[in-house]
Amino acid sequence: MTGHVYVSRRLSAAPMTALESLGVPIVVHPDPDWPPSRGELLDAVRGASALVTLLTERVDTELLKATGNALQIVANCAVGYDNVDVNAASSRGVVVTNTPGVLDEATADCAFGLILAMARRLVEADRFMRTGKEWIWAPQSFVGIDVSAGATLGIVGLGRIGMAVARRAHAFNMRILATGSRADNREAAAFGVQAVEIGTLLRESDIVSLHCPLTSDTRHLIGAPELDIMKASSILVNTARGPIVDEEALVEALESRIIAGAALDVYEQEPRPHPRLVKLENVVLLPHIASAGEATRNAMCQLAVDNVRAVLNGERPPTPVAG
């Protein structure tokens, strides 16, 4: 089949219907819950004019060559596109798009939920209750961080999602430190954000929340040296991309209590967390669900479809990252 749109995992219902209405053949990977193998992916994309991919698909030179000469767009259904070789796509005249904006609030909700869950030890307390052990109220039982009593939140990468987290932190009367190009703009100032260097942020924050993209510069941005300068009572939260954190170094820091805890939605070797992480009590672990609100996932899928429609119609897509 040539000129088809390949979808690496079935989209939500309304966007899928919209995609099918484009009047071009649609090929969808048959397993809705598990990605195609590399071999299946290379076979399925041959002759495709458009690819709708997820972060689980590596779109590199090999895959782009496998498509032949018909490919016009890679519509990545995610805000991050570190799984796509943008330069290789651009050199072949292929547009790459992502889905920014539509998942900011949902991701910020999840990040702040992790902040509260870890700071107030909610998941740890829930696990305790499920053991059936006898208990009675005690002054020092499951004491955590008083988030709304002046705790300092450090936001690494104050982009759209980071700003949404800052709005929530402002409502909790937190002191907010941030890195990134937007950390000293007018909007940030309205929420009391103080722009600082990352070293200052790590040393002074009670909670560090990561919101920067994964690039060659941010891979292992948080490693042993960075963890060493954080407060012993501090918490690391990651809803961005797993490889921003050196997971081996994080595990060692958690085991030795160099920092107090971590709350993670993403992992360096996703979908597999570090095997020692799952044995620790001072962590909260989620299976990459920060954008998993129904309206948000529908909006992500619809934006990917809108990008495909525009490019196949010879128009500029709504959210290009290259091409």
**Active-site residue numbers?**
241, 270, 288
Q: Which strand (E) or helix (H) includes residue 29? A: none
What is the SS3 assignment for 229?
helix
**Phi and psi for 95 in degrees, rounded to 5?**
-80, 140
- In the chain, the N- to C-terminal Cα span, in Å, equals 25
* Cβ burial, residue 156 (10 Å; 0-12/13-18/19+): buried
Is residue 313 within 8 A of residue 90, CB to CB? The reply is no
Let me know how many helices (H) and strands (E) the chain has, helices first.
Answer: 12, 13
Which residues fall within 8 angstroms of residue 142, CB to CB, at 6 or more apart? 120, 121, 124, 125, 128
Is residue 234 within 8 A of residue 208, CB to CB? The reply is yes
Helices 13-20/294-312 angle, 10° precision: 10
Q: In the block, which residue shows the tokens 């009590």?
A: 281
Q: Which strand (E) or helix (H) includes residue 250? A: helix 247-255
d(CA 66, CA 51): 12
Give the DSSP letter of residue 124. H
Which residues fall within 8 angstroms of residue 154, CB to CB, at 6 or more apart? 177, 178, 201, 202, 204, 205, 207, 208, 209
Look up residue 143 and give its two tokens.
Answer: 């004491």
Selection from 204, 205, 156 nearest residue 181 by Cα: 156
d(CA 306, CA 99): 10
